[in-house]
Amino acid sequence: MIFADILKCLMKTRLLLLFLWCFGLCSAQTYRARIVTNYGTIVVKLYDGTPLHRDNFIKLCNQHYYDSLLFHRVISHFVIQAGDPYSKFAHDTALLGDSDLPYVIPAEIMPDKYFHKRGALGMARDDNPQKSSSAAQFYIVQGKIADDSTFIKAKRRTDGYEIPEAHKKVYRQEGGVPHLDSRYTVFGEVIKGMDVVDKIALVATDKNDRPKKEVRILQIRILK
């Protein structure tokens, strides 16, 4: 009887461990996206903590929405931005950036957790009081190394938001754009291909920050 009881206990323990292992695998799943451009490939990780933005981005990628669109706004030491649907067939001098899909995404702004460090993936928006994001236009932060004056200016531009010390350390060491914190939703980050982001950020642009030479997204595919 004692042996049988021990055996039952071991079986229950093994089943419990198997359950926990399977649950861990499922709960730990994080989506990634491979952004293939004519300048190289960028891989981003999508945050599970911003499910509305994550799921919307996944939906658009699976619909091939971003395929052939341009990075229409490029500002060195700031961001590279894409997602304007008109950019697919726009002529060379067209003013881009004002077009998007006909809906918005409720804000998922969590600056104490997700912030605008170098490589951050964020969603653009217009000037609305709810800070709701655009449906399709996204940006990737290149940024620059920050110092104390950067944080003073950022606090002024974010209506008093105090950047955590841990984030300030990242901004000082790696760079970013701290004055966007608390204002725009960050929903992912680059995990491979920041050299491609840097290469794109260096291209010559016109007075509207549109690259003079096309920077085109060939495709974006979701990786599991």
* Residue 51 within any structural domain of the chain: yes
pLDDT recorded at residue 121: 99
* Residue 163 within any structural domain of the chain: no
Average pLDDT (44-67) is 98
List, for residues 28-51, the tens digit of each pLDDT value.
Answer: 568 999 999 999 999 999 999 999
pLDDT recorded at residue 28: 52
* Residue 20 within any structural domain of the chain: no
Q: Which domain holds residue 132?
A: 30-144+184-223
Q: Where are the beta strands (DSSP E) in the chain?
A: 32-37, 40-46, 71-74, 79-82, 104-105, 120-123, 133-134, 138-141, 186-192, 217-223
* Residue 11 within any structural domain of the chain: no
Q: What is the CATH number of the domain that holds 131?
A: 2.40.100.10
* Residue 61 within any structural domain of the chain: yes
pLDDT recorded at residue 13: 43
Q: What is the mean pLDDT of the chain?
A: 90
Q: What are the Cα distances from residue 209, in Å, to 44, 87, 96, 203, 219?
A: 24, 14, 10, 10, 22
List, for residues 70-84, the tens digit of each pLDDT value.
Answer: 999 999 999 999 999
Please tell me the total count of domains within the chain.
1
pLDDT recorded at residue 16: 40
* Residue 197 within any structural domain of the chain: yes
Bridge partners, 34 (sequence order): 43, 221
* Residue 17 within any structural domain of the chain: no
List, for residues 8-19, the tens digit of each pLDDT value.
Answer: 543 444 544 344
Residue 66 structure tokens:
């971003």
Q: What are the Cα distances from residue 84, in Å, to 12, 19, 21, 67, 71?
A: 55, 45, 42, 11, 9
pLDDT recorded at residue 17: 39
